[in-house]
Amino acid sequence: MSTFDEIYEKIKEYPTIILHRHISPDPDAIGSQAGLARSLQEKFPDKRILCAGENDEGDLAWINTMDKVTKKDYEGALVITTDTANTSRISNKLYREGSFLIKIDHHPDVDPYADMSYVDPDAPAASQIIVDFINAEKLPLPEEVAYPLYAGIVGDTGRFMYPETSAHTFDVVAQLARTGINITEIARNISDVTFAQAKLQAAVLDYMTVDPCGAAYAVLMQKDLKKLGITDDQASVTVSTPGRIKDIKAWNVFVEKPDGTFRVHYRSKGPVINKLAEKHDGGGHALASGANAKDMDEVKQIFAEVVEVTKKYNEEHE
């Protein structure tokens, strides 16, 4: 793994830097990307620094929107990915056209795809790593840089509920808060849902199947989403809903995409599920991961695997 100093020296070499994040982004994906881009632009006003993606930020456009990039922009450019564990998850495949690739991430490094990387699976968010990088290299951290980074940390820690949250995390967010960002506005933007999304959250409980072991799943079909006027990206607000039920220990929310395949959300309160996600074109953290399923047969297979690890977890913790 490379050091912050080595990454910073590489950044100084390139007049054009293009930052990518993962598809179907969450606050940490967009926040880490935007925070690093804005800080570098403050430090190097003569460099051309762009944020690339497939314009799929949806309800998260309040954090940042993408720049228009073309293949020509990548000629002689440095590409940096943030919060993206594997190549299949990189938003906008033009990333391959750059001259050099750096990966900054906090997921297990199952796909070491970059020329240079900094990966810390113990960090609760890629945005926290970006703050550490900014501090280590004495880069600018004004309010406009702090805003997306704070949003990223709040989003990926589940409002500081998840186990990776540490004392250092609170030191970092305190530093960001001192810049003057509106932390109440950020919290509301992350938590607010439309009336249609609220209806869908309630519907998930009706659709949910619960195994006696404490594993559960719900399938949201395109017809359900269209009935409420919701896109498959907006349906991600339902992912945490099953976890509010006391007896549920691990769960899947399957969201059908327009092409008939499924986006798979894994969440857990104890059973380790990221290794399961890796078997289905995905990955992530021990208790929060994502994957893909090509059809209902794979949906059933995925849930059977979650049931199996939940039963094993129960046996080990009796």
Sequence ranges of the domains in the chain? 4-190, 195-316
**Considering only CA atoms, which of 223, 273, 233 is closest in space to residue 29?**
233
* CA–CA distance, 90 with 58 (Å, rounded to integer): 17
| pLDDT tens-digit map of 97-156 | 999 999 999 998 989 999 999 999 999 999 999 999 999 999 999 999 999 999 999 999
Q: What is the pTM of this model?
A: 0.88
**Considering only CA atoms, which of 183, 167, 147 is closest in space to residue 62?**
147
Centroid of chain to Cα 54: 15
Give me the mean pLDDT over the 168-172 stretch.
98
Fold of the 4-190 domain = inorganic pyrophosphatase (n-terminal core) (3.90.1640)
**Considering only CA atoms, which of 239, 241, 254 is closest in space to residue 288?**
239
| pLDDT tens-digit map of 45-104 | 999 999 999 988 888 999 999 999 999 999 999 999 999 998 988 999 999 999 999 999
* CA–CA distance, 159 with 4 (Å, rounded to integer): 27
Domain 195-316 has CATH 3.90.79.10: no
8 A C-beta contact, residue 285 and residue 123: no
Tokens of 89: 């998850």
User: Which residues are CB-neighbours of 254 under 8 A, at least 6 positions away?
Assistant: 217, 218, 219, 220, 262, 263, 264, 265, 293, 299, 302
Residue 282 pLDDT more than 90? no
Judging by beta carbons within 10 Å of its beta carbon (0-12, 13-18, 19+), is residue 17 exposed, middle or buried? buried
Tokens of 169: 């995390």
Question: pLDDT band at residue 283, thresholds of 50, 70 and 90?
Answer: confident
Other beta carbons within 10 Å of 192? 11
pLDDT attached to residue 284 = 83
Q: Calculate the average pLDDT of the chain.
A: 95
User: Which residues are CB-neighbours of 44 under 8 A, at least 6 positions away?
Assistant: 12
pLDDT attached to residue 316 = 94
**Considering only CA atoms, which of 161, 235, 164, 186 is closest in space to residue 35?**
186
* CA–CA distance, 226 with 56 (Å, rounded to integer): 18
Amino acid at position 293, single letter: A
Taking CA 145 as the corner, what is the angle to CA 117 and CA 180, rounded to the nearest 5 degrees?
A: 140
User: Which residues are CB-neighbours of 258 under 8 A, at least 6 positions away?
Assistant: 222, 232
| pLDDT tens-digit map of 234-278 | 888 899 899 999 999 999 999 999 999 999 999 999 999 999 999
8 A C-beta contact, residue 220 and residue 212: no
Question: pLDDT band at residue 231, thresholds of 50, 70 and 90?
Answer: confident
